[in-house]
Chains A and B, each alone.
Chain A
Amino acid sequence: MQTNLLSKVTSDKSRYMSDKINHPELCQWLDAVATQRNKQAFTNLFKFFAPKILRIAKTKFPNEAQANEVVQETMTNVWRKAHLFNSDKGAATTWVYTVMRNVTFDMLRKIQGNKEDNLSDDIWPMAESMSSEEESFNDHLENKQLLSVLEELPEAQQEVVKGFYFSEMSQEQLATHLNLPLGTIKSRLRLALAKLRAQLGENS
């Protein structure tokens, strides 16, 4: 199950975006945590999210220790899973919300059924499109998108495009040419897209 935004939906996103949250900033912090393990950025995220998570958790758990555990668990997962965040697919708030929701779900199940089966990651996978880290991310998504476009073209045109369109490089080719690890290319592309989005405003 993909709980992140589909790229198709992102154009509608502005409808739900309020001005009260500085989305580009949150997004950059999260990217800084993902790509640089930046502690200051993480502290910023912590200051923004932790009190809000605590207040939400207090409405769901009977005691303060459990509510604190939700904060601890959620923020730990934010730190450990930041690389799974894809700013192309949705806002940082959406991603943190799903992390919090999953932590809460598993904790309630644990208290309720005494089951520590942590099903939330199967029900709401965080890493849907990144299932195998290496061949995943943008390239994968976009080629898929491109291929789906191709499928709608008449056969003869498909041939034209398949033969010669791909002068656009793959991420692997780009990595080879620049003599950089693929992971670096992926995070640079991701950051560039996030910055671009911040520059142009979410709704352009």
Chain B
Amino acid sequence: MITHHPKFELIQLFVNGQLPASLSAAIAIHADMCPKCQQQIALLTEQMAEVSFEEDSLQADLEQSLTTDNDSTADYSTDLTDEETLESLSIDDMVDAITMSDELAQTTVAADKTIIYQNENYVLPKTLSSMTLGKKATIGKLSRTRIQLNENEVRTSLLQIAPGGGVPEHTHKGFELTLLLEGSFHDEKGEYVKGDFIMLDSSVQHHPISKDGCLCYTVANDALHFTQGINKLLNPIGGLIY
């Protein structure tokens, strides 16, 4: 049974689309295996939608942003009513342009992507199907493939531990997320199973061992940048724009 779940704050950022792709994918994969988190995400999404599209709260947000935000970012003013904003959008043109094509979006489902490590064939979660995989590297019972997401200091990988293998004792300078895709492992704290979402910060020292082998999806931030702190990393959007 899954006992390790993403924290509420992470789920909230996920729903808002504010996590990097690496962590968003991890939560999506976890939720596919975890009805509890799936339900929480559904409810939060509904709440966020309600809040986003409700007049009053928008108005409140606006007022707040107007009083706190006097600097240049308010260049294009946001204190317009729906009607005024609509005028600036030239609806007719946009609607015409959009509805000109009657084409429906095709929904194709990508074929399952598989990966083989040490004669073990794994089917990867659909969430990862458009991601580019790097080369495989194997050292003893550990195999690793980087997932090329271009997220600077955040590194995402697939990590396979062959039966009886383990990861040498290590601490984390930033954070390290391990999501168990297949199999199980244990460390000093206990046993972890498929679907467990294990988020560790720098205070934790551990030494995972997998008796029967496992495949993990891992996300870690580069030690060089750890001083930026997790919050900034978790909010790359803020880091990017401001």
Residues of A within 8 A of B (CB): 1-6, 8-9, 12-13, 16-18, 20-21, 37, 39, 42-43, 46-52, 54-56, 58-62, 64, 68, 71-72, 75-77, 79-81, 83-84, 90-91, 93-94, 96-98, 100-102, 104-105, 108-109, 111-115, 117-120, 122-127, 130-133
Cβ of B49 and Cβ of A5 under 8 Å apart? Answer: no
Q: Which of A98, A102, A112 has the most CB of B within 10 A?
A: A112
Cβ of B53 and Cβ of A96 under 8 Å apart? Answer: yes
Cβ of B17 and Cβ of A54 under 8 Å apart? Answer: no
Residues of B within 8 A of A (CB): 15-17, 21, 24-25, 27-29, 31-32, 38-39, 41-43, 45-50, 52-56, 58, 62, 65, 73, 76, 78, 80, 82, 85-86, 89, 91, 94-95, 98-99, 101-105, 107, 109, 126-132, 149-152, 236-237, 240-241
Which chain B residues border A126 with CB–CB below 8 Å?
107
- Least distance between B214 CB and chain A CB atoms (Å): 22
Identify A109's interface contact among B21, B58, B78, B127, CB under 8 A.
B21
Cβ of B95 and Cβ of A123 under 8 Å apart? Answer: no
Subset of 10 A-B contacts with CB under 8 Å? A1-B127, A4-B45, A5-B45, A58-B78, A72-B94, A80-B105, A81-B104, A102-B17, A109-B21, A122-B130
Cβ of B50 and Cβ of A21 under 8 Å apart? Answer: yes
Cβ of A93 and Cβ of B16 under 8 Å apart? Answer: no
Chain B residue at smallest Cβ distance from A115: B150
Given A97-B49, A102-B17, A105-B17, the answer on whether A51 and B86 have CB atoms closer than 8 Å is yes
Instruction: Report how far A130 CA is from B42 CA in the complex, Å.
Output: 17
- Least distance between A127 CB and chain B CB atoms (Å): 4
Cβ of B240 and Cβ of A111 under 8 Å apart? Answer: yes
Given A124-B28, A131-B107, the answer on whether A6 and B76 have CB atoms closer than 8 Å is no
Which chain B residues border A20 with CB–CB below 8 Å?
54-56
Identify B131's interface contact among A52, A119, A125, CB under 8 A.
A119
Given A76-B98, A80-B104, A112-B236, the answer on whether A52 and B52 have CB atoms closer than 8 Å is yes
Cβ of B53 and Cβ of A81 under 8 Å apart? Answer: no
Interface of B (DSSP majority class): helix
Given A6-B39, A9-B42, A52-B58, the answer on whether A127 and B53 have CB atoms closer than 8 Å is no
Cβ of A21 and Cβ of B54 under 8 Å apart? Answer: yes
Q: Which of A46, A72, A83 has the most CB of B within 10 A?
A: A46
Chain B residue at smallest Cβ distance from A102: B17
Given A39-B95, A47-B91, A97-B52, the answer on whether A12 and B43 have CB atoms closer than 8 Å is yes
- Least distance between B153 CB and chain A CB atoms (Å): 12
Cβ of A114 and Cβ of B150 under 8 Å apart? Answer: yes
Cβ of A50 and Cβ of B102 under 8 Å apart? Answer: no
Cβ of A75 and Cβ of B94 under 8 Å apart? Answer: yes
Cβ of B25 and Cβ of A122 under 8 Å apart? Answer: yes
Given A58-B76, A96-B49, the answer on whether A43 and B95 have CB atoms closer than 8 Å is yes
Cβ of A16 and Cβ of B47 under 8 Å apart? Answer: yes
- Least distance between A12 CB and chain B CB atoms (Å): 7
Which chain A residues border B103 with CB–CB below 8 Å?
80
Cβ of B98 and Cβ of A79 under 8 Å apart? Answer: yes
Chain A residue at smallest Cβ distance from B85: A51
Chain A residue at smallest Cβ distance from B49: A97
Cβ of B50 and Cβ of A101 under 8 Å apart? Answer: no
- Least distance between B30 CB and chain A CB atoms (Å): 9
Cβ of B127 and Cβ of A123 under 8 Å apart? Answer: yes
Identify A122's interface contact among B50, B53, B80, B129, CB under 8 A.
B129
Instruction: Report how far A54 CA is from B59 CA in the complex, Å.
Output: 14
